[in-house]
């Protein structure tokens, strides 16, 4: 992509919020790939798999080490949530929930990396644009949400059967016994179910994106406190040290609070995915 000149505070923020784009089809932005989001997502996913596999291979039935205790705590927590939220019978759901929770958390955790650290390192090797938080990219959050919904559709059809799922779409939520009433309500039921189905991935993706994007923006706003000050001003004037100290305090406070946000958002994404998958496994007696 062509480089753009960024100046001032607005340019600094815009530059940090710009993805590194590869145009697969020139002139058609639909086929653009945000290569930075893709690479960081894959690296964090591989890191998650490598670390959990490493701990699992070294696991012992005797006195566990700190890492084994930590992993067992996460696995036990996710397992409890699956037992509470999912009433179906599937060997895929629990590992899927664990993957969603840890992977989304790791992607969110990149928001706590100093905003200039990795982009500045990238510029040293000629990478002018770099967004390091994958979940501040709608393409990533929608990809995750659509992946969950594909499984929801799959289980809805497998568990209920194609005809059973189709019947559910036109007979729920307004149920009727009279054939004429069933036919009359069918369009309304279908419309409501289509809207609900479309709203699930949209709300799932936008909730995660919105919270992480706003968090990243606040870190950038804090960072601009000393943006226009020269290094000498930071140490030779009264305002420099005060601005630097204020920036550090604000960053620390927001980072401490943001740890709760990134964890909560990973948990919410996992729980809503479990709820949707549980709904896909439910059979209605009337159908």
Share of the chain above pLDDT 70, in %: 90
The answer to whether residue 233 scores a pLDDT higher than 70 is: no
CA distances from 86 to 98, 145, 150, 274 (A): 13, 18, 17, 6
The C-alpha atoms of residue 269 and residue 271 are separated, in whole angstroms, by: 6
DSSP H helical segments within 86-178, as ranges?
Answer: 93-109, 117-124, 138-160, 162-171
Helix axes 93-109, 66-85, angle to 10 degrees: 120
- The pLDDT, as a whole number, for residue 237 is 56
Query: Could you report the per-residue pLDDT of 21-52, keeping only the tens digit for each?
Result: 999 888 888 889 999 999 999 999 999 999 99
pLDDT tens track for 45-78:
999 999 999 999 988 887 888 999 999 999 999 9
41 in active site: no
Q: What is the pLDDT of residues 74-94, one digit of tens each?
A: 999 999 999 999 988 888 999
Q: State yes or no: is 211 an active-site residue.
A: yes
d(CA 106, CA 48): 8
Average of per-residue pLDDT values in the chain: 88
Question: How far, in Å, CA of 42 to CA of 143, rounded?
Answer: 13
How much is the average pLDDT of 121-127? 91
Domain range summary for the chain, segments of one domain joined by +? 65-116+135-281
Q: Which of 203, 214, 273, 278 is catalytic?
A: 203
Neighbours of 2 (CB within 10 A): 3
- At 155-208, the pLDDT tens digits run 999 999 999 999 999 988 888 888 888 899 999 999 999 999 999 999 999 999
Q: What is the pLDDT of residue 287?
A: 41
- Chain centroid to Cα 93, Å, comes to 18
Do the Cβ atoms of 79 and 270 come closer than 8 Å?
Answer: no
Is residue 280 within 8 A of residue 156, CB to CB? The reply is yes
**Per-residue CA distances from 280 to 77, 103, 195, 234 (Å):** 23, 23, 16, 59
User: For this structure, is 207 an active site residue?
Assistant: yes
Q: CA–CA separation, 196 vs 202, rounded Å?
A: 10
Residues 207, 214, 273, 278: which is the catalytic one? 207
Percent of the chain with pLDDT over 90: 65
Buried b (16+ CB within 10 A) or exposed e, 173-189: eeeeeeeeebeebbeeb
Kindly name the residue from 37, 211, 273, 278 that is annotated as catalytic.
211
């Amino acid at each position: 992509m062509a480089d753009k000149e960024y100046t001032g505070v607005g340019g600094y923020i815009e530059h940090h919020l710009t993805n590194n784009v590869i145009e697969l089809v020139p002139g058609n932005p639909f086929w653009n790939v945000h290569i930075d989001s893709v690479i960081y997502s894959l690296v964090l996913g591989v890191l998650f798999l490598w670390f959990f596999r490493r701990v699992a291979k070294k696991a012992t039935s005797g006195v566990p080490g700190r890492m084994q205790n930590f992993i067992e705590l996460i696995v036990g927590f996710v397992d409890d949530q699956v037992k509470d939220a999912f009433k179906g019978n599937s060997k895929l759901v629990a590992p899927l929930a664990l993957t969603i929770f840890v992977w989304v958390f790791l992607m969110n955790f990149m928001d706590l990396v100093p905003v200039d650290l990795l982009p500045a390192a990238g510029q040293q090797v000629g990478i002018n644009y770099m967004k390091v938080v994958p979940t501040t990219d709608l393409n990533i959050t929608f990809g995750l949400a659509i992946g969950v919904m594909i499984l929801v559709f799959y289980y809805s059809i497998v568990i209920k059967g194609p005809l059973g799922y189709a019947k559910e779409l036109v007979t729920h939520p307004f149920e009727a016994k009279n054939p004429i009433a069933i036919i009359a309500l069918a369009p309304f039921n279908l419309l409501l179910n289509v809207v609900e189905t479309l709203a699930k991935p949209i709300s799932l993706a936008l909730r995660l994106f919105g919270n992480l994007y706003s968090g990243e923006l606040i870190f950038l706003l804090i960072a601009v406190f000393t943006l226009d000050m020269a290094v000498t001003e930071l140490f030779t004037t009264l305002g420099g040290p005060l601005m630097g100290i204020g920036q550090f305090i604000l960053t620390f406070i927001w980072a401490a609070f943001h740890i709760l946000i990134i964890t909560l958002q990973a948990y919410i994404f996992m729980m809503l995915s479990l709820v949707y998958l549980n709904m896909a496994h439910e059979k209605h007696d009337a159908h």
